[in-house]
Amino acid sequence: MFNNMSFQDAQQSALNFLVSQLSVIEPQVYRIQYPDIQYPNLIPVDTSGNEWAKSVTFFSQDEVGQADWFHHMANDVPLADVTREKHEVGIEMAAIGYHYTLEELGQMAMVPGTNLPTDRASAARRAYEEFVDGIALRGQPNANNTAKGWKGLINEPSVTVTTVQADGNGNSTTWSNKTGDQIIRDVNAGITGVYTESLTVEMADTVLLPVALFTLLGSTPRGTNTDVSVLEWLMRYNVYTAQTKQPLTIRAVRGLETAAGDGGGRMVVYRNDPQVLKLRIPMPHRFLQVWQRGPLRFDVPGIFRLAPLEIRRPKAIRYVDGIMDAPYE
């Protein structure tokens, strides 16, 4: 393609070739599914709004009050109330793109009908999904980056934290030392805790577990004379399904094995609903126009903008710790 061309013509030809191929690459990349990216199935995502807004304002809500006995001559009627707290968080920009060189473009353009490989664009898209996954779950893109001070689904300070009963072997709290029935009780207690603490307003429909404990539930019989696992039993018989006739979602989530306050495993129970929590991505990942970065290099920048996870109803979420020991260093 570049034979008998001046260097400047070859550069322009390469640029035109890259731009024409991007129209094919981008739809292919955005159609690729990433099954081990966790957040889309765990958290409602909102991509509406001004993509260049500087911040987002939301309100968290809590219900307080408890009924009590009352004498007909008394004046101090117990009162229920709703507390609302205003939150304003910044929307931040991040970036990930990819590049090609003049030599690579020239070699590919010499073969008629050749499309640029989507590998680099796909790698950029994958990096975006992993970044957002970390923000949604932990408030940071990876375990070593705490620059923004954000929190996520598994470590939000406003969420109630409880510990399971210490009635396993040797008075242990960990599920590896408990019977199937004790584990089932602990899960149902977590779900019920959301219901009672929210004054029966919220009912958790989702249970998140460390991967190792999810596997344990799937391989542990519910009793001595049955082939039904603890996981199967919980899916059929739990307080959420009994109350609503709807199936309970139980998922394994990476990162929960060290999410507890002591560095051990944590169970998260919550209602997966936009009224409870929401992740705002006003500008999902997009590739920009090709930029010639150097004499032989062409970059395809990619940018996106997002805000930290909004926990709107903290009482609809509960953390249950003590179910798994911290891993040894």
Write the DSSP string, 85-145.
EEEEEE-EEEE--EEEEHHHHHHHHTSTTPPPPSHHHHHHHHHHHHHHHHHHHHSSSSTT-
Cα-only R_g, the chain: 26
> 292 near 68, Cβ under 8 Å?
no
Q: Which tokens is 311 given? A: 């926990």
Q: Which of 20, 28, 14 is nearest to 118 (CA)?
A: 28
* pLDDT tens per residue, range 67-116: 888 888 888 888 887 777 787 888 999 999 999 888 888 877 776 666 67
Predicted local confidence at residue 165, as pLDDT: 97
**For residues 146 and 138, what is the distance between their CA atoms, to the nearest angstrom?**
10
Q: Which of 262, 278, 264, 270 is nearest to 311 (CA)?
A: 278
* pLDDT tens per residue, range 12-54: 777 777 777 777 788 888 777 776 899 999 999 999 989 999 9
CATH code given to domain 7-56+88-151+279-311? 3.30.2400
Res. 183 pLDDT band, cuts 50 70 90: very high
Domain chopping of the chain, boundaries: 7-56+88-151+279-311, 160-276+312-321
* pLDDT tens per residue, range 259-308: 999 999 999 999 999 999 999 999 999 999 988 888 888 899 999 999 99
160-276+312-321 has the same fold as 7-56+88-151+279-311: no
Task: Please determine, for residue 247, whether its predicted confidence score (pLDDT) is greater than 60.
Answer: yes
Q: Which of 91, 130, 123 is nearest to 140 (CA)?
A: 130
- Tell whether pTM > 0.75: yes
CATH code given to domain 160-276+312-321? 3.30.2320.10
